[in-house]
Amino acid sequence: MSLELSSSASTASDIAAARQADIVAFLHRAPFTLEAYELGFLPGFREDCGYQETQYQNLTLPVGMLDNDFQNPDLDRFVERFFEYEPQVGVIGDIYEPTDVDAHIAAAREIQDSFPDAEVIIVPKSQAVIDTIPDDIILGYSRGYADRLAHEFSDPTDWRGRRVHILGGSPPKQLDAIRQLTRPTLTDEPPADIVGLDWNGLHRGAQFGEFWTADGWDDSGRDASHVTVRKTVRHSLARIKAFWQSHGVWPDSAPHSDILEIEYEGPSPTDLDSAACTECEANVWTTRRGPFIAEYDTGVLCGYCSYECYFSHRHRNNLEEIAGEQSVYIPPA
C-alpha cells in the first residue's frame, strides 16, 4: 500500500500499511485468469503468451499486468507490447549489470510519458544495481522461478525504503520475504513498501487433482468422482485470497467468508463454447445424437460430432481425461 516512508521509528501501523499490497496478480491463460479476476486478483500474462482466449466467445478480460519474456528479453519489443495492451503494471526486465540500467530506465520513461498512471517494475539481479534504479520505479524482488533470487545476492536492508513487488514464490515464501523486508530494526530503518505480489504455481498442482492450502497441497479431490482443473485452480485461488487477507496483505482487508467448495461434475452440452467438432469441424448439433464432450487434464473441454472423432482426436494428441470416463459426456442413443 502506498505510504510515506520516513527515517523515524516504524510504528505498528506503519508496518501494517507497508505490508498491505495494492495488487495481488495472477498471470495465466483463460479461463483461469477469468476465475482470478472474479475473485479480485489482477489478471495478466507474459508478453509472449497472451490469454489464449480464442476458444471462448465474448470473453473480454483487461490486461492488468504484463510480464516480460525473461528468457528472451527485448526492451523494444516489450515497450511495443505495453503500448498494445496498455496494462496497469508492467515488468520491464531483469538487470544484472549497472551498465544496463540506463536502457531500462529509458524504456520505463517512454512508458510513463504515455501512461502516467501505469506502474513499472524493474528487477535487479545484483546488489550493485538496486541503488541505481530511481525511487519512483518499483523494484521486482525475485522469489520464485528465476536464475537468481533476490535473497541470494542481497540483504533485506538493501530493499528497505523502496517500493517492492514480490515476484513469484508460494505464499508462505512470499510472506517470509514480506516480513523480512518490513519488520522493525534496531537501527529504525523504514520498511519496504510492498505494493504487489504474484504467483502462478497453482495450475501444475491442479492437473494432479491437488489444490493449495496454507498447510500445503491437498490431494483430497484426486479420487473424487469428478474434479476439473478449472475448479481446482479456482479453489486454490480462493484459499490464497483468504491467506493474504488473514495476514493483512490482500488489498481489501475485510474478513474472507466465501471460500469456494469444489464441485464434482462431468461436462455437459451447455459447457460448449463452439458448435464446431474439434476433430473435423462439423456442426456437433446437427448430428442425430448430439455432441460427444470430453474434458481433459489440460483444462480444455472439447466437443465432437461422433465417438469416432473423439477417439481419433484424443489418441492422436495423447490426451488424458481429468477423471477417466466421468470426464466424457456421451449423448443418449
Question: Over the stretch 277-325, which tens digit does the pLDDT of each residue have?
Answer: 999 999 999 888 879 999 886 668 899 999 899 999 988 887 877 667 7
Q: With a cut of 90, say whether residue 328 has pLDDT above it.
A: no
Q: Which residues of 90-109 are buried (b: 16+ CB within 10 A; e: fewer)?
A: bbbbbbeeeebbeebbebbe
Provide the CB-side half-sphere exposure for 134 (13 A, CA): 9
Q: With a cut of 70, say whether residue 180 has pLDDT above it.
A: yes
Q: With a cut of 60, say whether residue 223 has pLDDT above it.
A: no
pLDDT band at 125 (very low <50, low <70, confident <90, very high): very high
pLDDT in tens, 30-51: 888 888 998 899 999 999 888 8
Please report, rounded to a whole number, the percentage of residues in the chain having pLDDT higher than 70.
87
pLDDT at 258: 43
On average, the pLDDT of the chain sits at 86
Q: With a cut of 50, say whether residue 7 has pLDDT above it.
A: no
Give the span between the Cα atoms of 215 and 93, in whole angstroms. 33
pLDDT at 221: 61
Name the nearest CA neighbour of 63 among 98, 34, 41, 88. 88
pLDDT in tens, 238-267: 999 999 999 999 997 443 344 344 343 678
pLDDT at 5: 47
- Output 182-187 pairs: Cβ under 8 A, ≥24 positions apart: 182/15, 182/18, 182/19, 183/15, 184/9, 184/10, 184/15, 185/157, 185/160
Domains of the chain: 12-200 (3.20.20), 269-329 (2.30.170)
- Find the mean pLDDT for residues 101-116: 97
Provide the CB-side half-sphere exposure for 315 (13 A, CA): 6
Grid cell at residue 115: 501512461
Residue type for 177, please?
A
pLDDT in tens, 149-164: 999 999 999 999 999 9
The pTM of this model reads 0.74
Q: With a cut of 50, say whether residue 332 has pLDDT above it.
A: yes
Region of poorest pLDDT, from 78-82, 207-211, 280-284, 327-331: 207-211
Q: With a cut of 80, say whether residue 9 has pLDDT above it.
A: no
- Find the mean pLDDT for residues 138-145: 93
pLDDT band at 3 (very low <50, low <70, confident <90, very high): low
Per the model's pLDDT, the better-predicted residue between 15 and 9 turns out to be 15
